[in-house]
Amino acid sequence: MNLLPSLAGMAAAVTGHLALPHIDYLSILPIMIMLGGAVAIIGWSSLLRRPLDVTWVTSLTVLTATAALTMSLFQWYSVLHSGAHTHIDGAVVMDGFSVLVSVLVTCATFVSAVVGDSWLRREDVRGPEYHVLMLVSASGAMTMGVANDLIVVFLGLEILSIALYVLAAFNPRRAESGEAALKYFVLGAFSSAVFVYGIALVYGATGTSNLPQIADFLARNVALHDGLLLAGLALLLVGFGFKIAAVPFHLWTPDVYQGSPTPVTGFMAAVAKAGGFAALLRVFVSSFHLLRADWQPPVWVLACITLVLGAVVALLQQDIKRMLAYSSINHAGFILLGLQAATARGVEASLYYLFVYSFMVIGTFGVISVVAGRGDRDHGLETYRGLASRQPWLAGALVVLLLAQAGVPFTTGFVAKLEVVTAAVHGGSTALAVVAMVTAAIAAFFYLRVGVLMYTPAQNGTGEDGDMAAALGGAAPSSDDPVLVGVGEAGSITVGALGSAPPVPAGAAFGIALCVVVTVVFGIWPQPLTAFAHHATLVLAP
């Protein structure tokens, strides 16, 4: 009976004239540039007899990301002067929030492209696939940032995730890489299904999947039986929880971070988190703001256990990538503080945190990628013993980035933590803010442990060049990997080059340096970035 009117409507649509929505291309131009660049690179490479050289692919990717970044800044100009708008029949929105996510993702792609370039050369992987998949994945994250409709959020989520599943499996020489990809794929597909079910229930309860219309519906109607809506909301939260790796939906994170190629891990930690949090903040804070009394307590609990478990379990890790995976869970807890506050200030703080965290984490994984050596295997903490004497610049960069993650003053990490904690206190969750500060203190321990380890001389290291290889050989077996490939290499190179460390590849050096500069400069002079985040308000301000 209910079907008949809709069928009639469809018939009218088929026979009558179709009203095409007006499309303002500026609103989706950065996304189109990223996708267009990806298609152009892979198309060009396919037409050649041999796959496109890595130098070319990296240059084109950097060019694409820069073009998209420039367009995002044009969007910013447009938002500042003519205000935020929804476009394409309300499917996407161009506001300060979406522009900031766009800028974040394009910057992260830029840095990941140059860091990944060094990885590809070292592992001798040819072809444009790595960079193309990264561009596609980034466009998915940007779609999540501009999405103004739950279906568009889902579309972005899938574009982001499917490319990442492939990227996680990108190292064919490591079995862990395939394992990571399979785990990520199965759990990601599962969480997507949960997310879509949530969309269906919300649609069933409100009659629309458009975010402002949902807010409008909630403002006009008081649901007597809101079980369906709350169930939908819960499923949406679970679906997002998987993507942002909030406890208890974090189980994939350590294995996937450990198994994926290291530059991919950095990209994943920055961009997948940014996309997930962008959509989460927009959906919950702007559309379901009126229901905040219902969703704030669960988010409080999620944030609390995410903070505590991330910090405590990271203490026990012997593998630096696993340790940073748990540390990223801890960071997700901090970003959830801003969501839990459900205020404009909270959103601003979360966005700022995401922005600076993406630089810190890509830089950190860039250093780890260089230290891991050929084969991307050496991730044991003992590998870092005495790194400062072998590669002082690399060790210095890692110390700065880890201190920033720990939230030491004069780095962006400090400002970020300060902002979210302040937002939580102003939002009335003082207890949660205290928990966050305690976990920050716990987390500082495992960041500093790596720092101290790097400045501890290698065991048995007497400073004579001839003993260096033996010292390294003695130091590394604790990374319970029987194949000591990188050790042999480091040892032989040390012997061959009389103590001078292998040079850091140019791409990785540039990427890491950029991350360190951003982290330190905006840590000492935070005003531009905080102002940027302050203006990045949602179109439906809470």
Partner 1 sequence: MKDYLPIFVLLVLGFLFAALSLVASKLLAPRRRPTSAKIAPYECGIVPDREQPQRFPVRFYLVAMIFIIFDIEIVFLYPWAVIFRQLQTFGLVEVLVFAGVVFVSFLYLVSNGALDWGPAKRLRPAAPQRTARTTITRVPGGPSAGSGHEAA
User: Shortest Cβ distance from residue 289 to partner 1 (Å)?
Assistant: 29
Q: Does 166 bind partner 1 (CB under 8 A)?
A: no
Nearer of residues 461 and 526 to partner 1, judged by Cβ:
461
Number of residues that bind partner 1 (CB under 8 A): 39
Question: Which residues, 6+ apart, have CB-to-CB distance to 134 below 8 Å?
Answer: 61, 109, 112, 113, 116, 163, 167, 267
Binding residue (CB under 8 A) for partner 1 from 80, 173, 438, 500: 173
Q: Does 227 bind partner 1 (CB under 8 A)?
A: no
Nearer of residues 22 and 81 to partner 1, judged by Cβ:
22
Question: Which residues, 6+ apart, have CB-to-CB distance to 29 below 8 Å?
Answer: 68, 71, 74, 75
User: Shortest Cβ distance from residue 383 to partner 1 (Å)?
Assistant: 14
Among positions 123-142, residues that touch partner 1 (CB under 8 A) are 123-127
**What six digits make up the tokens of 304?**
């609390």
Which residues is 92 bridged to in the sheet? Answer: 87, 147
Among positions 459-518, residues that touch partner 1 (CB under 8 A) are 469-470, 472-473, 483-489, 491-492, 495-496
User: Shortest Cβ distance from residue 46 to partner 1 (Å)?
Assistant: 4
The C-alpha atoms of residue 156 and residue 28 are separated, in whole angstroms, by 13
Binding residue (CB under 8 A) for partner 1 from 28, 31, 42, 436: 42
The helix/strand/coil state of 10 is: helix
Binding residue (CB under 8 A) for partner 1 from 4, 5, 17, 525: 17
Q: Does 527 bind partner 1 (CB under 8 A)?
A: no
Nearer of residues 373 and 427 to partner 1, judged by Cβ:
373
Tokens 């203190």 sit on residue: 441
The C-alpha atoms of residue 234 and residue 202 are separated, in whole angstroms, by 10
Element (H, E) at 465: helix 465-475
User: Shortest Cβ distance from residue 87 to partner 1 (Å)?
Assistant: 15
Question: Nearest 5°: phi and psi at 203?
Answer: -60, -40
Binding residue (CB under 8 A) for partner 1 from 45, 64, 98, 296: 45
- 459-465 long-range Cβ contacts below 8 angstroms, 24+ apart: 459/385, 461/386, 461/389, 465/494, 465/495, 465/498, 465/499
User: Shortest Cβ distance from residue 472 to partner 1 (Å)?
Assistant: 8
Tokens 């809470």 sit on residue: 542
Ramachandran bin of 245, using left for φ above 0, alpha for ψ from -120 to 50, beta for the remaining angles? left
Among positions 51-70, residues that touch partner 1 (CB under 8 A) are 51
User: Shortest Cβ distance from residue 157 to partner 1 (Å)?
Assistant: 19
How many other CB atoms are there within 10 angstroms of residue 430's CB atom? Answer: 12
**What six digits make up the tokens of 122?**
């070292």
Which residues is 380 bridged to in the sheet? Answer: 319
User: Shortest Cβ distance from residue 197 to partner 1 (Å)?
Assistant: 14
The C-alpha atoms of residue 329 and residue 348 are separated, in whole angstroms, by 20
Nearer of residues 80 and 495 to partner 1, judged by Cβ:
495
How many other CB atoms are there within 10 angstroms of residue 20's CB atom? Answer: 7
Q: Does 200 bind partner 1 (CB under 8 A)?
A: no
User: Shortest Cβ distance from residue 135 to partner 1 (Å)?
Assistant: 13
Nearer of residues 222 and 483 to partner 1, judged by Cβ:
483
The torsion of the CA quartet 211, 215, 220, 222, rounded to 10 degrees, works out to 110
Interface region with partner 1, contact rule CB under 8 A, candidates 41-49, 294-302, 316-324, 422-430: 41-49
Binding residue (CB under 8 A) for partner 1 from 8, 9, 11, 39: 39
Site string for partner 1, 340-369 (x = CB under 8 A): ------------------------------
Nearer of residues 274 and 490 to partner 1, judged by Cβ:
490
DSSP string over 47-92: HSSSPPPHHHHHHHHHHHHHHHHHHHHHHHHHHHHH--EEETTTTE
User: Shortest Cβ distance from residue 540 to partner 1 (Å)?
Assistant: 29
Amino acid at 446: F
Which residues in 26-65 are b (16+ Cβ under 10 Å) and which e? ebbbbbebbbbbbeebbeebeeeeeebebebbbebbbebb
Nearer of residues 126 and 535 to partner 1, judged by Cβ:
126
Nearer of residues 374 and 449 to partner 1, judged by Cβ:
374
User: Shortest Cβ distance from residue 75 to partner 1 (Å)?
Assistant: 22
Among positions 370-429, residues that touch partner 1 (CB under 8 A) are 373-375
Q: Do 119 and 505 meet the contact criterion of CB atoms below 8 Å apart?
A: no
User: Shortest Cβ distance from residue 28 to partner 1 (Å)?
Assistant: 13
Nearer of residues 171 and 439 to partner 1, judged by Cβ:
171
Chain residues in the site for partner 1 (CB under 8 A): 2, 14, 16-18, 20, 39, 42-43, 45-48, 51, 123-127, 172-173, 373-375, 469-470, 472-473, 483-489, 491-492, 495-496
